[in-house]
Structure 1
Amino acid sequence: MRAIVMKEFGGPEVLQLTEVPDLERRAGHHILNIHRSGVNYADVHVRGNTYLAPVELPYTPGNEVLGTTPDGRRFVGLTPGGGYAEQAHLHRRVAWEVPDDITDDQAVCLALQGQSAWHILFTAAAVQPGECVVIPAAGGGLGSLAVQLAKNGGAKVIALASTPEKRRLAADLGADATVDSTAEDLTGEILEAADGPVQVGLEMTGGPQLPAVLAAVAPRGRLAVYGFASGEQKDLPLHLLMEKSITVSGFWLPNLYADRTALPASMEKLFSAVRAGRLRTITGGVFPLAEAATAHSTLAARTHTGKLSLDPTK
C-alpha cells in the first residue's frame, strides 16, 4: 500500500510518499481502508519533533481517519499515528461507526477536532449557559466547530480570527462578536466586544495571544490551553493567576482515550448535532495522499477555512 513516511524531522518536504507492506490483522483493531485522513496541527508538531508524545522514525503521521472495513462498515476514529496511508489500524475503543446520513467529509471533522472542541468547552473549561467565551482560530477546523458548540450551549461567543473572511464565517456560524486576532491591543478589543471581562478564554497559539486572552479573563474565570500553534510556549504570569483567582486547564485529547464513556457519548452528540443541522462542518480542502506536504504548507499558512484532509484513494 501507499503511505506517507517521515525518515527525518523537518519541513513539509520530509513527508514522502512510499510503498509499504499491507497491514496484518491486530487484536482489538479494525483494519480500515481509508477514504479521508484528517490533517491537524498535531501532525505539524509530529513533523517538527515538538509533539507531546515521543515519535520514533521512520514514522507515518495522521491521528484521525475515516474509511471502511473489509466487510463494508464505515468508521471514523483516532489512531496513534499511521493515518496518512491507504490502510490503518483503528482500535475498537476509539472507533465509531458512521451513520448513513453523515457524509465522509462531515465525519472526518468530528473524530479529533470535533471531540476536542466538545471536551475543551464542556469538560476542561466547563462552559455554562450565559457565560462569555473567547474562541481562537474561529475560522479553522476546531474553532469553527467550537463557535457553534458554545453557542448551542447557551454561551456568548467572542470569535478571534486573522482575516475578514474568517471573521465573516465565524459570524455566520453564530458568534456574537468577532475580533481581529492580529490586533495590536487584542485584550482591549476582546473587552470591548464582550462588554467587559469574559468568564472563559480558550487558547491554542502559545504565543503573544496567550497573555492577551488571559488578561481579558474575569476574576474566578477559566483559561483552557490546548496548543502552541505559533511554535512558542509562553509562561503564564503566576501573579495575575493568583490576583484574579483564574483556573487554568491544559487539554490533550489522548488523555480521554481510556475513558469508556466520555468519547462515545460526545461523538453521539456530535453526530446528532450534524444530523439536526445545529453543527455545520466546513471543508477547507481535500488533497490527494501524495500532496500531504502541500496540505501541511496550507495549514501553516493559515489561508484556508475549516477542515483539511487527505484522500488516500487518489
Structure 2
Amino acid sequence: MRRIRYYSYGGPEVLTVEQADIPVPGPGQVLVRASAIGANFVDTLLRRGPSSGPIFDRPLPGRLTGDVVGTVEAVGPGVAVDQPASLVGRRVATLSEDAFAEYVVADLDWLAEVPSGLDVGAASTLPLGGPTALGALRAGHLAPGETVLVHAAAGGIGHLAVQLAKVLGAGRVIATAAGAAKLDFALDHGADVAIDYSADDWPDQVGKAAPDGVDVILDSIGGQTLLRGLDLLAPLGRTVVYGVASGDFREIPVTSLFALRSVVGFSLLAWRAADPEAGRRDVAEIAGHLAAGRLRTTVHACLPLDEAASAHRMFEERAHRGRILLLP
C-alpha cells in the first residue's frame, strides 16, 4: 500500500510517498480501507519539528494524523467474538496517528459508524473536528444568550464551532478570520459579525460588536491573540484554548485573571481519556446534528494522496476554508 511519512524536519517537500505492508489489526482493533482522509493543520507544525515549539518536538520518522473515513476490511483478536464478521463492510470514521495511507488500523473503542447518507466531508468531522468544537464550547460553559468569539472561524474546526455555538443557544457569535473571502465564509456559516484579525485594531472592532464584553472565547491560535483576547472578556468570561497554531507560547499574566476571568485548556484526547462515555456521546451528538442538517461541513479541496505536500502548503498559506481531504 502507499503511505506518506517524513524522515527529516522541514517544509512540505519532506513528505515522502512510500510503499509499505498493509498493517495487521491487533487485539481490540480493526483494519480500515481509507476512502478519504481529513488533513489537520497541527501536522504542519509537527512536520517542522522543534522549530515550531517544544510541544511539537516528536521523534522521526514522522507520521501524519488525520480523520480517516473508510470501510472495515478485517478485525483483530477479541473484536466481535460472537460474530467476527459483523463489522466487516461497515462504513466508519476514525482518528489515526498514521492516517495518510491506503489502510489504517483503528481502536474499536473510538470507531464512529457513519450514518447512512452522510457525505465524506461530514463523516470526516466525526472523529476530531466536531467533538473538539463541541467540547471546547462546553469547556467554556456556554449558556444560552451569551456572546461567543471564535478565532480562526474559517478553519476545519472553527467553521463547525461557529455553527455549534448557535445550536447551543449563543445569542451572538463573533468570528475572526483573515481576508474578505474567509470573513464571508464565516458569515455564511452563521456568524453574526466577522472581523479580520490581521488588522491591528481587531480587538477594538470586537469591543464595538460586544460592548458588554465577550462571555466565551475559543482560541486555537495562542500567543498575542490569546493575550489581547483576555481584555475583551466580560466579568466571569471564559477563554478556552484548544490549539497554538501561532507556535507562540506566551505566559498569561496572573493579574489578567483578577478581573474574574478564567482560561482553560481543552484537548480531545485528554477528554476521551478522562471520560470515555462522554466522549462517545459527543461523537453521537455530532452525527445527529449533521444528519439533521443543523451542522454542515465545507470541503475546500479534495486531493490525491500523493499530493499531501499540496495540502500542507494550503494550510501554511492560510488559503483554505473548511476541510482539506486526501483521497487514496
TM range (shorter): over 0.9
1:74 — aligned with what? 91
Aligned amino acid, residue 76 of structure 1: A
1:256 — aligned with what? 271
Whether 1:27 aligns to 2:43 is no
- Taking the aligned partners of 1:52 and 1:277, their CA distance within structure 2 comes to 37
Whether 1:175 aligns to 2:178 is no
Give the conservation status (yes or no) of the 8 Å contact 2:214–2:234.
yes
- 1:35-54 CA distances to partner (integer Å, 9 max, x unpaired)? 11111122122212258476
- 1:225-280 CA distances to partner (integer Å, 9 max, x unpaired)? 111112212221211112x1211111111112333212211111111111111101
Quick one: which of 142, 165, 178 aligns to 2:181? 165
Match of 1:3, SS?
A: strand
Whether 1:151 aligns to 2:182 is no
1:6 — aligned with what? 6
Matches within 5 A, 1:267-282: 267-282=283-298
Give the conservation status (yes or no) of the 8 Å contact 2:300–2:322.
yes
Whether 1:56 aligns to 2:59 is yes
Matches within 5 A, 1:127-146: 127-146=142-161
- Taking the aligned partners of 1:160 and 1:22, their CA distance within structure 2 comes to 42
Match of 1:18, SS?
A: strand
Aligned-residue offset at 1:153: 1.0
Give the conservation status (yes or no) of the 8 Å contact 1:135–1:147.
yes
1:36 — aligned with what? 36
Give the conservation status (yes or no) of the 8 Å contact 1:186–1:212.
no
After the TM superposition, which of the residue ranges 54-63 and 180-189 deviates more from structure 2? 54-63
Aligned-residue offset at 1:121: 0.5
TM-score, normalised with respect to structure 2: 0.90
Aligned amino acid, residue 269 of structure 1: E
Quick one: which of 281, 289, 294 aligns to 2:305? 289
Match of 2:8, SS?
A: coil
1:188 — aligned with what? 204
Match of 2:276, SS?
A: coil
- Taking the aligned partners of 1:184 and 1:60, their CA distance within structure 2 comes to 36
Unaligned runs of 5+ in 2: 74-87
Matches within 5 A, 1:232-247: 232-242=248-258, 244-247=259-262
Query: Kindly, what percent of the aligned residue pairs are identical?
Result: 36
Match of 1:110, SS?
A: coil
Aligned amino acid, residue 107 of structure 1: A
- Taking the aligned partners of 1:98 and 1:51, their CA distance within structure 2 comes to 36
- Taking the aligned partners of 1:24 and 1:173, their CA distance within structure 2 comes to 41
Whether 1:106 aligns to 2:130 is no
Aligned amino acid, residue 13 of structure 1: E
Aligned length: 309
After the TM superposition, which of the residue ranges 233-242 and 290-299 deviates more from structure 2? 233-242
Tell me: CA distance 1:35–1:96, structure 2 relative to 1, closer, same or farther (3 Å): same
Give the conservation status (yes or no) of the 8 Å contact 1:179–1:193.
no
Aligned-residue offset at 1:92: 0.9
- 1:137-174 CA distances to partner (integer Å, 9 max, x unpaired)? 11111110000000111112111111111111211221
TM-score, normalised with respect to structure 1: 0.94
